[in-house]
Chains A and B, each alone.
Chain A
Amino acid sequence: MSAVEHPVYDTDHTAEALPSALLRTWEPHTGLWNWLTSVDHKSIARRYIVTAFVFLILGGILALVMRFQLAQPEQQLLSPDLYNQFFTMHGTTMMFLFAVPIMEAVAVYIVPLMVGARIIAFPRLNAFSYWVYLFGGSMIWVAFFLNAGPDAGWFSYVPLAGPEYGAGKRSDMWAQLITFTEISALAVSVEIVVTVFKFRAPGMTLNRIPIFVWAMLVASFSIIFAMPSVVVGSSMLISDRLIGTHFFNPAEGGDALLWQHLFWFFGHPEVYIIFIPAVGMASTIVETAARRPIFGYSLIVLSLISTGFLSFGLWVHHMFASGLPRMGNSFFSASSMAIAIPTGAQLFCWIATWWDARVRITTPALFVIAFMIIFTLGGLSGIMIASVPFDLQATDTYFIVGHIHYVLLGGAVAPLLGAFYYWFPKFTGRILSERLGAWNFWLYLIGANLTFAPMLILGLRGMTRRIFTYPPDFGWNDLNLLSTIGAVVLSLSFLIFLINVARSLAQPATALSNPWGASSLEWATTSPPPPYNFAFTPVVESRWPLWTEAGALSHATGLRTDRKEVIVTTAVEAEAVLRDTVPSPTIWPLITAIATTAMLIGSIYTPSAVVYGAIPTGLALIAWLYPRKAETEFPPQEEKAA
């Protein structure tokens, strides 16, 4: 019964032979089959990143067309119906298909490397989550091209999105997209939590993990606690539309506001799920650019954690105009203002880190500066609308549109672009051009402000949001035109970015392991890393392993090379306690994702798809999970002796 094995360990190989031995075990296939069956977190993350950027471009094109429609009053570039689909698809794509997935994608690539692990926890689940994301995103865009795109806004208020007023399958597509993206995001966040707690390099106590890892830990917990709310809500919406339930039907005891509470209980943490990884990225760049440890590590960690907690207590600020009791509104007003404090604390820590340092102003650092400028403006407008009386004038106007884009472009996309410039050498082995990077930055800074500052003013002048056109005599014309020009500038910025990426990818991969001279473990391996990340798992003694142990990083030995093994450590002290065997490449996550997709798309049309679709999904899951052979002895030696 027990497997007869002659184990081969890493110390059994010479230093020259070890990499190829590991490669044979860790990446046994090649070509398309390798790509389809891969469970390598880096390979999966690259797909996530590319797919998310495709959605960014698609969502951006929608925005550009909308800006052309609004550049002048009474234009007819887009019909009302098309405009409604455009703004819904823009928000839905950007929030669900770009912003959260891209942060997760960077985390999927970087977090295992940063903690010194060879894998992300649950590698097959990781592959599954990518396919589900890809298929769900494709579904909604195919629906859009078939004129069945959702048209009720990215937060899909009922009764407009309900069975009575939401004709066709448009809002069902939207609600099911939620299911796809939430399955994907929840799976990844579980993987990240388990990776951070169980797969750290020995010696990397919780107190020594990089700030970005803390940020992803907080964001992952936020996803775990927040996303179930929108899954429950979107399922209720589908069931109202498909099988006649009355969750949101006031005529039979339901309530339209129930939707808003369920959605925004998720929706507010959602924006922090996007923001917190980005500030983690910014902290990373700040530290590397300063070439010295970040100021206030503990304060930053506490700020991240308290931001995560506080973000769950803000959601009613999206509903100030709904006539809720004044006391309730006041509470949420206070909490909405309070959350500025931990964010501000991080900003001041960055400034303190740079204050006396010899800062190297590279493109990543430029984008952190862009964050500071653009996000601060967004945050200030946020404090304004935290005040209920002001919000009753500003809500549902372009002031809000300006605010959300300022905080997103400043607080999420700018650090993301900076992080992309920062980690591009690690991902691809090439460095992006600094010259094009500077152009990218300036056009971004100018474009963002030119596009969204007019919107803040337009809101104060009474321009409501989600309107396909506006009257010519309200005094809104010039600012709309200015905003459109800004959108063109912003688009040029992204074009330069894409050109930069394309040109760099055309170069040979010659980047060093640590071109920036950074301190964290992802830079302790090649650029890009091999499938097994580290030939030997590092052993860590400080927060900045590559700075304090310069050139003489310790490592652990004793893992087998004839099967995929990793070290499992304790949650807080990171003591090695286990050698875990991790799965080989397999096609079953993809098959299961296809079966799941069929079930979810089918259930847009008929409830019996849930039952029928569960059967192939269940069979695929069996094929995925059922063990192929015994990997360890049984009964275990220790138990036999006892």
Chain B
Amino acid sequence: MDGPRLIAIGGKPTVEIEVTAHRWWWEIRYHDPVHSRGFVTANEIHIPLNEPVKITLNSVDVIHSFWVPNITGKRDIIPGRTEEIMVKADREGYWIGRCSEFCGLQHARMAFAVVVEPRDKFDAWRGVQAEPSRQPTTPEEIRGQQVFSQANCVMCHVIRGSPAAGYSATAPDLTHLKSRATIAAGALPNKKGYLAGWVADAPNLKPGVLMPPNMLPPADFQALISYLETLQ
């Protein structure tokens, strides 16, 4: 890497992100002085190219570790403490991070992504993330949203702009689920077939995960998946 060596990343951070580590996924919260521009997502971070970014790290359960090899060294996340790191990426790209402190059954599959993009693209992404979810249009999608609100899903997941908009930090925010490249913290590609398998029986794909299997009548299940597929 060219450029001056940095001992510490100086400058006022232009973006402030709060990362909360769970077993075995990453809750990502973007803060903004304008409240309506803040939002929650999961497992994927976007940052603007060449700008200092402050990342605050918390854990709700055991020790995890935040590591994106191409961008920054590790920082262990100790429950009961809040860690703060400064990050500044000087290369665009889709960079993969991994949890780097053994945290139990699915430590191997607790990945996340850091997308480094130019400021305008970053702003566009952030704008989309801050909006509430797309409303269902077809009958099947509407049925799917109903299923979501009536089944187990709503106990843990949030989809802003839908009836399931209560605050819950126990599972990834699904408002813009399909904007992410992977699901299950990098374990599976974000495609319909994998999504269906995950919703049906997550512990089968990622043993130990806290999401239970979901036995739904086939029509309801299809509707649910169709609805989820609309959440860009």
Contacts and interface: CB of A to CB of B under 8 A. Distances in A.
Direct contact of A and B (CB under 8 A): yes
Interface of A: 79-81, 84, 152-153, 157, 159-160, 164-165, 250-251, 255-257, 319, 321-323, 389, 392-393, 395-397, 462, 464-471
Interface in B38-57: none
Contacts of B99: 464
A84 B69 contact: no
Given A160-B62, A392-B74, A251 B80 contact: yes
A223 B63 CA distance: 29
Nearest to B84: A323
A160 B65 CA distance: 13
Interface string B70-88: 0001111011110100000
A256 B80 contact: yes
A323 B63 contact: no
A81 B108 contact: no
Contacts of B106: 80
A462 B81 contact: no
Contacts of B186: 471
Contacts of A250: 78-81
B82 to A, nearest CB: 10
A323 B104 contact: no
A157 B101 contact: yes
B208 A80 contact: yes
Contacts of B103: 160
Interface of B: 61-63, 65, 67, 69, 73-76, 78-81, 83, 98-108, 186, 207-208
B60 to A, nearest CB: 11
A464 B83 contact: no
Given A80-B208, A470-B108, 10 more contacts: A80-B108, A160-B102, A160-B103, A250-B79, A250-B80, A255-B80, A256-B80, A321-B101, A466-B102, A471-B186
A215 B80 CA distance: 42
B63 A395 contact: no
A42 B170 CA distance: 60
Given A256-B80, A389-B73, A396 B101 contact: yes
Contacts of B104: 84, 160, 165
Nearest to A256: B78
B58 to A, nearest CB: 11
A322 B186 CA distance: 25
B63 A321 contact: no
A441 B104 CA distance: 38
Contacts of B107: 464, 466-467
Contacts of A469: 108
B65 A396 contact: yes
Contact of B108 (A319, A397, A468): A468
Nearest to B105: A80
B63 A157 contact: yes
Contact of B78 (A322, A397, A465): A322
A160 B67 CA distance: 19
B78 A81 contact: no
B73 A323 contact: no
Main SS class of interface, A = loop
Contacts of A389: 73
A464 B100 contact: yes
Contact of A321 (B65, B69, B98): B65
A84 B102 CA distance: 10
27 contacts: A84-B105, A159-B62, A159-B79, A160-B103, A164-B61, A165-B104, A250-B81, A256-B79, A256-B80, A321-B65, A321-B75, A321-B76, A323-B78, A392-B74, A392-B75, A395-B100, A396-B65, A396-B67, A396-B74, A396-B100, A462-B69, A462-B98, A464-B98, A464-B100, A466-B108, A467-B107, A469-B108
Contacts of B61: 159, 164-165
Contacts of A397: 100
Nearest to A319: B76
Given A79-B207, A157-B101, A464-B98, A323 B80 contact: no
A237 to B, nearest CB: 14
A512 to B, nearest CB: 52
A393 B76 contact: no
A504 to B, nearest CB: 42
9 residue pairs, one from A and one from B, having the closest CB atoms: A250-B80, A392-B73, A467-B108, A466-B102, A396-B100, A160-B62, A321-B74, A80-B105, A462-B69
Contacts of A466: 102, 107-108
Contacts of A164: 61
B69 A322 contact: no
Contacts of B81: 250, 323
Contacts of A157: 62-63, 101-102
B74 A393 contact: yes
A160 B63 contact: yes
B98 A323 contact: no
A56 to B, nearest CB: 24
Contacts of B83: 323
B19 to A, nearest CB: 14
Nearest to B80: A250
Considering residues A81, A323, A392, which has the most beta carbons from chain B within 10 angstroms of its beta carbon?
Answer: A323
Task: Choose among B61, B101, B103 the residue with the greatest number of A CB atoms under 10 Å from its CB.
Answer: B101
Given A159-B63, A160-B62, A81 B105 contact: yes
Contacts of A153: 102
A26 B75 CA distance: 60
A152 B103 CA distance: 8
A465 B103 CA distance: 11
A241 B157 CA distance: 31
A323 B186 CA distance: 26
Contacts of A81: 105, 207-208
B69 A393 contact: yes
Contact of A393 (B73, B80, B102, B207): B73
Nearest to A390: B73
A312 B189 CA distance: 48
Contacts of A255: 80
Given A256-B80, A396-B74, A165 B98 contact: no
A322 B66 CA distance: 11
A536 B80 CA distance: 65
B170 to A, nearest CB: 15
B4 to A, nearest CB: 15
Contacts of A319: 76
Contacts of A152: 102
A159 B69 CA distance: 25
Contacts of B62: 157, 159-160, 165
A395 B73 CA distance: 9
A392 B65 CA distance: 11
B185 to A, nearest CB: 12
Nearest to B99: A464
Nearest to B64: A160
A322 B105 CA distance: 22
Contacts of A471: 186
Contacts of B207: 79-81
Contacts of B73: 321, 389, 392-393
A195 B44 CA distance: 62
A462 B68 CA distance: 9
Contacts of B100: 321, 395-397, 464
Interface centre among A79, A322, A395 (most CB of B within 10 A): A322
B181 to A, nearest CB: 13
A322 B80 CA distance: 13
B25 to A, nearest CB: 16
Nearest to A465: B102
B108 A395 contact: no
A257 B78 contact: yes
A323 B76 contact: yes
A159 B78 CA distance: 9
Contacts of B65: 321, 396
Nearest to B8: A326
